[in-house]
Amino acid sequence: MGALNYIVQQTMNALSLGSTYALVAIGLVMVFGVLRLVNFAHGDLMMVACYTAFFLVATGLHLGLFSILIIAILVATLVGILMERVAYRPVRGASNIITLLTSLAVSIFIENIFVMFASPVPRSFRSITPLFLNIVNHWGTLVVSNINLVIFGVAILLLIFLLLFVTRTKLGISMRATSEDLMAAQLAGINIDRVIVTAFAIGSAIAGVAGILWAARIGRIDPLMGFTPLLKAFVAAVIGGFGSLAGAVLGAYLLGFAEIFLIGFLPPSLSSYRDAFVFLLLIIVLLVRPNGILGSIEREKV
């Protein structure tokens, strides 16, 4: 019984961690799909949402948790849209190395603005986190915390919403068409600017949600907090296949499981090397399937 309980609990942890990665990875893959750009500033949008929530609470306006979260997510969305407009649109069509450097620059810029004006000292996120999230349920011999349930639930809801969006709406279908073939999308009459802005808006909003969930879990925020989830989401997307949303989600959950179970099963003396093992997993996947698990081999142009 003890072993089974342990596995169930670790599975819950893995699902919650994987869900966070999935939410971040989706935004990354959406933007990559339409622009062929890895947006390294994507993780910073998580941070922007968290600080917005933090400062809204600090103002003492008593806005209510729900409106604070909505505003925080909206701010992250606006920053994402602004990012595209100001930084990425001017370099659209430039070589990969230029867009890569641009996204690194945007990331460093945003992080340093927060370091300067919000101080690099980590802040507690407990004041924002509603108390019920900290409740730990004892179901028989099982121990499951509310925060893990909420993270998993929110992720599943958002994933269903996204699935419906990309398969049932004209804009969603346009987005898939654009990420598949930019030229054909333009010739078919798709306004690609609109599609790209939509990808940024949705990706940023989801990053905002992911940021708040992430911060609620670990209980504190700092200006560089977006880096680790971004890196993990990037690895998840590469493992799953950078081209597809399904691949990103699959990769994220695989990564979540790998991390949690590595900590669980490795001897304590090795568990601090878990990231090394995670990246080892990445290398193995890339050796066996260079385009990721669900990635297709680039089709040859006829």
Name the site residues for another protein (rule: CB under 8 A): 170, 173-174, 176-177, 180-181, 183-193, 299, 301-302
Nearer to another protein, 84 or 111 (CB): 84
Q: How far is CA 258 from the centre of its chain?
A: 17
Nearest approach, Cβ of residue 194 and another protein (Å):
9
Nearer to another protein, 140 or 189 (CB): 189
Nearer to another protein, 176 or 274 (CB): 176
Nearer to another protein, 7 or 188 (CB): 188
Q: Contacts from 250-255 at CB under 8 Å and sequence distance 24+?
A: 250/293, 250/294, 251/25, 251/292, 251/293, 252/18, 252/19, 252/21, 252/22, 252/24, 252/25, 253/14, 253/15, 253/18, 253/19, 253/21, 253/22, 254/18, 254/293, 255/18, 255/21, 255/281
Nearest approach, Cβ of residue 245 and another protein (Å):
11
Nearest approach, Cβ of residue 177 and another protein (Å):
5
Nearest approach, Cβ of residue 301 and another protein (Å):
7
Strands (DSSP E) contained in the chain are 123-124, 136-139, 142-145, 220-221
Which residues are paired to 139 by β-bridges? 142
Nearest approach, Cβ of residue 176 and another protein (Å):
6
